[in-house]
Amino acid sequence: MPEMYKTTCCYCGVGCGVIVHQQRDGKIWVEGDKEHPVNKGMLCSKGMNLHYTVMDTTDRLLYPEIRYSKYGPRQRAGWDEALNRVAAVFTAIIQRFGPDAVAFYASGQCLTEEYYVVNKLIKGFIGSNNIDTNSRLCMSSAVAAYKMSLGEDIVPGCYDDIELTDCIFIAGANPAWCHPILWRRIEAAKAANPNLVIIVSDPRVTQTCALATLHLQVTPGTDIVLHHAIGRLLIEQGCIDPVFIRDHTEGIEPYRQAVMQRTLAEAALICGIEEAAITQAAHYIGNTDKLMTMWTMGLNQSAIGVHKNLSLINLHLITGTIGKPGCGPFSLTGQPNAMGGREVGGLSNLLPAHRDLLNAQHREEVQQFWGGTTLSDKPGLTATQMFEALNSGRLKAIWIMGTNPLVSLPDVRMAEAALNKATFVVVQEVSNKPETLAYADVVLPAAAWTEKEGTMTNAERRISYLPQLTQPPGEALPDAEIICRFARKMGYAGFDYPCMEDIYKEHARLTAGTHINISSLSYDVIRRHRTIQWPYNGEMEQPGTRRLFEDHRFYTASGRARIHAFGDENQSEPVSPEYPLILTTGRIRDHWHTMSKTGKVNKLKQHIPSPFLEMHPEDAAERDIEQDAIVEITNRLGNVRVKVKLTESIKKGLVFLPMHWGKLFNNDSSRANNLTHVLLDPVSKQPDFKFSAVQVTRYYKP
């Protein structure tokens, strides 16, 4: 009889339950878990093909490798030899240049336990806050906005609100392709309730628009103008909740003044849509007491990402649609464990359990708990800052864990130059494909999904347990094990955990007394309930907390949610006669990030087999570009050459390029991030991936 195990999909932040069937010959296949509260048996195309990524080990890194000279070959080494070498080089660099001369760059795909130990290692023992992850590229604007408005980085609602709401406003997101199982729940909710209003704001007509009651095809960069215009109409038409505003918020007057700055006509002109469309959106939002908003990269990946987030959250705070069934702001997480990474404090400005690095008492609590070195009060380098610091020589060594920055970072040629310049690069990876390996001085082979044990937290605060089901190939080890072995080589105490659950328990103990509080949660309890939404107080009938702020007491100092007021100017590099088009980048349905997993699966490659540029036919005609021509996209950073796909579903003046393809799956010339800027939101430090001024010319006629 084949064996059957329950686990969780390792792709996106929806967090679907997966049943893995393992045959006697070791082969595995997967199906959706019908009892799982998130997906109720459904899986999307990526989830259905998960087993191929595990069974195909042809691309796996099997042994540690060391490169002894800058341009020499990498040579197989034993674990002791490889980690001794890393420890010797890290020690020498730290002694000579100080702890801030080294950094760790991790991934939202790491398990919580892995995040925890690497964060503890660098902050608590090496004495630097130079740890950041690729979650900085996707979620940090939402993190900052939640803290500023609600007093805590917290998603207040749950997926079950989808079946209870009357109106969903989806802004800058395409869940039909990027969060497919969540989307199927929205489709089912719409089928059950034809009166469910779905408003979509997106400069492209995506698959998500197929179900939209109203599509607002806004000009990129104008989201705040739109949200403010809706806010103004809600105030003018008396569609706000004055009692909620009076009793549970602060900041309404400055907000009122800010949204009155533009007339409806001005806002419509800037957004590039009809006044009537904004009025209609305000009508829908103003006439429901069950409003959900959902957003992702369209708002987050912007030089004004935090304000974009806040402008949407403000609509909830003026209408009182938060902390109630069917209500609330809901940022859709891209990666499977971006939330877990934040819980353990795995960003350069955080401490465990959402403690604040700049708070002396918080630093003291954590330092006492870990018993290591005094925690630095200097915020560490964020994702892009690490690569800039390598280029400037301020940072000497970087350890990259489970992420592929040479496809995913903005201005990726700058990142390439940085790795070339680095004194020492460690790459801890599953696959032998990522471009980063070409720059590695030491390569450490890591275990993949099903080959290691741990936990993850999805977008609705739901913690899942992932068992180890299969053995890693060769000498690959779980990421947490690699970090702990290295820490011991460095001579640090507190990294000799007998098992993975002991790491989890230590992390859980640190959450006691915080808003996350899972201090009484064990692997056993999670396994028994299948999943648990934090916080969890151990005496609950429900498995965890579905919804927060039901008492309308927020986590700010005053207990009131903060309505923020600010201007609406876009801070992206403006278009110009030389670069008159706006480039936006994003995902397609069947690929994930830089394709190191989905690129192995033939079925997934068939959906869209090669990179393309989406362009409006009128923009193409002005440039004598025909369907399927090879075009060159240029700006002051670089160029990209791909086939053009003409479509009226994209707004005139805008072009769209998928972000997945890099050198390995195509070539350097199709890498979208050759063209994106290291222009950061000033608060979240999230890059402006969604707005780059470019020109497009015909390169080759079909």
Query: Could you tell me which stretch among 7-15, 91-99, 236-244, 679-687 binds ligand SF4 (CB under 6 A)?
Result: 7-15
Contact 335, 209 (CB under 8 A): no
Q: Minimum distance from CB of 179 to ligand SF4 (Å)? A: 6
Of 208 and 385, which has the nearer Cβ to ligand SF4? 208
Query: Is residue 162 within the footprint of ligand SF4 (CB under 6 A)?
Result: no
d(CA 429, CA 412): 19
CB of 47 within 8 A of CB of 18? Answer: yes
In angstroms, the Cα distances linking 591 to 30, 251, 690, 691 are 18, 42, 19, 22
- Single out the segment in contact with ligand SF4 by CB under 6 A; choices: 178-186, 346-354, 470-478, 576-584: 178-186
Which helix H or strand E contains 397, and what residues bound it? strand 397-401
Calpha distance 132→130 (Å, rounded) = 7
Give min distance, CB of 11 to ligand SF4, in A: 3
Q: Is 16 in the site for ligand SF4 (CB under 6 A)?
A: yes
Least spacing, CB of residue 276 vs ligand SF4, in Å: 35
Looking at beta carbons only, is 14 or 425 nearer to ligand SF4?
14
**Residue in 584, 599, 607, 602 with CA at minimum distance from that of residue 660:** 599
Q: Is residue 9 part of the contact set for ligand SF4 (CB under 6 A)?
A: yes
Nearer to ligand SF4, 394 or 589 (CB): 589
Q: 639-646 and 612-615: which strand pairing?
A: parallel
Joined tokens for residue 270: 């800037």
Which of the 8 DSSP states describes residue 121?
I
Is 461 within 8 Å of 354 (Cβ atoms)? no
State in angstroms the smallest separation of the CB of 133 from ligand SF4.
19
Question: For 630, which DSSP code?
Answer: E
* Calpha distance 241→659 (Å, rounded): 41
What is the closest distance, in whole angstroms, from the C-beta atom of residue 327 to ligand SF4 in the complex? 23
3-state secondary structure 265-333: HHHHHHHCCCHHHHHHHHHHHHCCCCEEEEECHHHHCCCCHHHHHHHHHHHHHHHCCCCCCCCEEEECC
Q: Which of 7, 28, 37, 47 binds ligand SF4 (CB under 6 A)?
A: 47
Contact pick of 7, 11, 433, 460 for ligand SF4 (by CB under 6 A): 11
* Rounded Cα distance, 440 and 527, in Å: 38
Candidate ranges 13-21, 187-195, 660-668, 678-686; the one touching ligand SF4 (CB under 6 A)? 13-21
Answer for which of 15, 221, 323, 410 binds ligand SF4 (CB under 6 A) is 15
180: contact with ligand SF4 by CB under 6 A: yes
Q: Nearest distance from residue 12's CB to ligand SF4, in Å?
A: 3
Based on CB atoms, which residue is closest to ligand SF4, 43 or 357? 43
Which helix (H) or strand (E) covers residue 502, if one does?
helix 500-510
# of chain residues touching ligand SF4 (CB under 6 A): 14
Instruction: Report the nearest approach of ligand SF4 to the CB of residue 32 (Å).
Output: 7
Q: Does 181 bind ligand SF4 (CB under 6 A)?
A: yes
Q: Check binding of 83 to ligand SF4 (CB under 6 A).
A: no
Task: Specify the stretch interacting with ligand SF4 by CB under 6 A; choose among 44-52, 232-240, 440-448, 613-621.
Answer: 44-52
**61 in the Ramachandran plot: left (φ > 0), alpha (ψ -120 to 50) or beta?**
beta
Smaller CB distance to ligand SF4: residue 333 or 408? 333
- Least Å distance between CB 459 and ligand SF4? 10
Q: In this chain, which of 7, 28, 30, 46 binds ligand SF4, going by CB under 6 A? A: 46
Using alpha carbons, select from 357, 402, 347 the residue that is nearest to residue 143: 347
Nearest residue to ligand SF4, scored by beta-carbon proximity: 47
Question: What is the Cα–Cα distance from 34 to 510, expressed in whole angstroms?
Answer: 34
Stretch of 64-72, 87-95, 177-185, 390-398 lying at the interface with ligand SF4 (CB under 6 A): 177-185
Element (H, E) at 102: strand 102-106
Give whichever of 31 and 475 is closer to ligand SF4, judged by the CB atom. Answer: 31
Nearest distance from residue 50's CB to ligand SF4, in Å? 8
Residue ranges that bind ligand SF4, judged by CB under 6 A: 9, 11-12, 14-16, 39, 43-44, 46-47, 179-181
